[in-house]
């Protein structure tokens, strides 16, 4: 039974990979990927030639960050270049960088997330206990482990995480943050640890009515999470539809299911999870976006933390842990809805 659910999630992911765009798309469509992405599939395609600085033993993490693997997005942020990483040297570098990091409360790494976003971060009941899991949380745990401190996860509303970060109440924001040029003005953002795409979801029953962005004319409505890049995608691609912003992704999905809105702009990996289990929903198309991928948000100017986080991301992408975090999160998600 559980396996069946997992298979349907995987199948849905495959189907999405074959999805067409909705038409009338901006020039950036080439950089978007419809499939639920993975760190290693990207890194596998990196050219070995671009990695010399990263692998030489006297390289610094700052070099490493500068020498990231493509595709870097609109904000100039890409996956780490892991084509030639010396894991032993990286390990030593991580220890060195960790020694410089201070956290907002002693002996703890406090992260802010919005746990409404499976498989990135979501609640499950395990042995009757509420837990927050997901591949962002697994990455946060890896970061805390490298620091040798306990992890504290704070579930707060998505649109307040970056403020909490800059006001000094949390150390990091991990919530599937797309590194946009606008956000980079307010906070620092790590290398990408995951790449994915953006989707427009509709109800299956409306498949005849909505075939492209143009079908979302006056009198229609679309939903997105408050403070997310999906709000911008809605305005850009369906400008005539009225935009309904809601605090959580499940409430956007609920509004779609109950017909309060006609479409929902949702991160593809998240959308795939919903269509795998909710028979009344479908992904209409891939939505082009040029700041694709997920970054960890760090307080503006906290270079020690940023360098350390980038080094840990490089490690978990290079050694395959990140792919494992994603696979485990997909499995937990499939189990939690079966
Ligand atoms: N990637 C999108 C953004 O950065 C959506 C992230 C939403 N995350 C969440 N945990 N609800 O705006």
Which residue did the predictor score with more confidence, 309 or 25? 309
Token pair belonging to 151: 């992890």
* Nearest atom (ligand 1) to Cα of 229: 12
Taking the centre of ligand 1 as the mean of its atom positions, its distance from the CA of residue 270, in whole angstroms, is 10
Residue 114 CA to ligand 1 centre (angstroms): 8
**pLDDT, average across residues 292-319:** 97
Ligand 1 atom 5: the closest Cα is on which residue? 228
Compute the distance from residue 304 Cα to the ligand 1 centre, in Å.
25
* Per-residue pLDDT, 292: 87
Rounded to the nearest angstrom, the distance between the alpha carbon of 332 and the centre of ligand 1 is 20
Q: How far is CA 97 from CA 31, 74, 322, in A?
A: 33, 28, 20
pLDDT of 101 > 70? The answer is yes
pLDDT tens for 276-294 read 999 999 999 999 998 889 9
Cβ proximity of 139 and 193 under 8 Å: yes
Residue-level pLDDT at 73: 76
pLDDT digits (tens, 9 = 90+) for 14-27: 555 556 688 754 43
SS3 110: strand
**What local confidence, expressed as pLDDT, does residue 102 receive?**
97
Does 83 score more than 60 pLDDT? yes
The pTM assigned to this predicted structure is 0.85
To the nearest 5 percent, what fractions of the chain are helix, strand and coil? 45, 20, 35
pLDDT higher than 50, residue 167:
yes
By most ligand atoms within 8 Å of CB, the mutation choice from 111, 164, 177 for ligand 1 is: 177
Least confident of 36-40, 100-104, 252-256: 36-40
User: What residues flank ligand 1, with Cβ below 6 Å?
Assistant: 114, 116-117, 120-121, 158, 175-178, 225, 228-229, 249, 267
CA of 287 to the centre of ligand 1 (A): 15
Q: How many CA atoms lie within 13 A of 337 on its CB side?
A: 20
Average pLDDT, the chain: 86
* pLDDT band (50, 70, 90) for residue 56: very low
- Confidence at residue 66, expressed as pLDDT on a 0 to 100 scale: 47
C-alpha distances (whole Å) from 232 to each of 67, 109, 141, 271, 290 are: 29, 31, 31, 18, 12
- Tens digit of each residue's pLDDT (9 = 90 or more) over 111-158: 999 999 999 999 999 999 999 999 999 999 999 999 999 999 999 999
pLDDT digits (tens, 9 = 90+) for 232-262: 999 999 999 999 999 999 999 999 999 999 9
pLDDT given for residue 44 in this prediction: 36
- Report whether pLDDT(189) > 70: yes
Asked if the model's pLDDT at residue 298 lies above 50, the reply is yes
Residue nearest atom 12 of ligand 1, based on CA coordinates = 228
């Amino acid at each position: 039974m559980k396996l069946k659910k997992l298979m349907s999630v995987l199948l849905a992911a495959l189907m999405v990979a074959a999805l067409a765009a909705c038409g009338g798309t901006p020039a950036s469509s080439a950089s978007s990927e419809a499939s639920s992405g993975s760190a290693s599939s990207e890194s596998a395609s990196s050219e070995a030639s671009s990695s010399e600085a990263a692998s030489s033993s006297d390289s610094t993490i700052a070099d490493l960050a500068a020498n990231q693997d493509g595709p870097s997005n609109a904000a100039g942020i890409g996956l780490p270049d892991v084509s030639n990483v010396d894991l032993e040297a990286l390990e030593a570098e991580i220890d060195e960088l960790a020694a410089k990091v201070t956290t907002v409360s002693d002996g703890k790494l406090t992260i802010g997330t919005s746990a409404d976003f499976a498989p990135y971060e979501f609640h499950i009941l395990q042995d009757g206990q509420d837990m927050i899991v997901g591949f962002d949380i697994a990455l946060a745990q890896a970061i805390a482990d490298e620091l040798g401190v306990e992890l504290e996860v704070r579930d707060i509303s998505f649109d307040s995480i970056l403020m909490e970060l800059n006001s000094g109440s949390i150390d990091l924001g991990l919530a599937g943050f797309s590194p946009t040029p606008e956000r980079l003005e307010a906070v620092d953002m790590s290398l990408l640890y995951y790449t994915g795409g953006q989707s427009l979801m509709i109800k299956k029953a409306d498949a005849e009515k909505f075939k492209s962005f143009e079908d979302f004319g006056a009198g229609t409505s679309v939903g997105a999470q408050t403070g997310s890049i999906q709000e911008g995608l809605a305005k850009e691609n369906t400008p005539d539809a009225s935009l309904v912003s809601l605090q959580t992704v499940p409430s956007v999905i609920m509004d779609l299911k109950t017909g309060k809105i006609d479409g929902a702009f949702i991160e593809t990996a998240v959308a795939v999870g919903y269509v795998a289990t909710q028979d009344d929903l479908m992904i209409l198309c891939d939505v082009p976006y040029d700041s694709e991928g997920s970054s960890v948000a760090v307080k503006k100017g906290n270079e020690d933390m940023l360098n350390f986080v980038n080094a840990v991301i490089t490690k978990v992408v290079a050694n395959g842990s990140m792919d494992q975090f994603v696979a485990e999160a997909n499995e937990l998600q499939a189990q939690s809805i079966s």
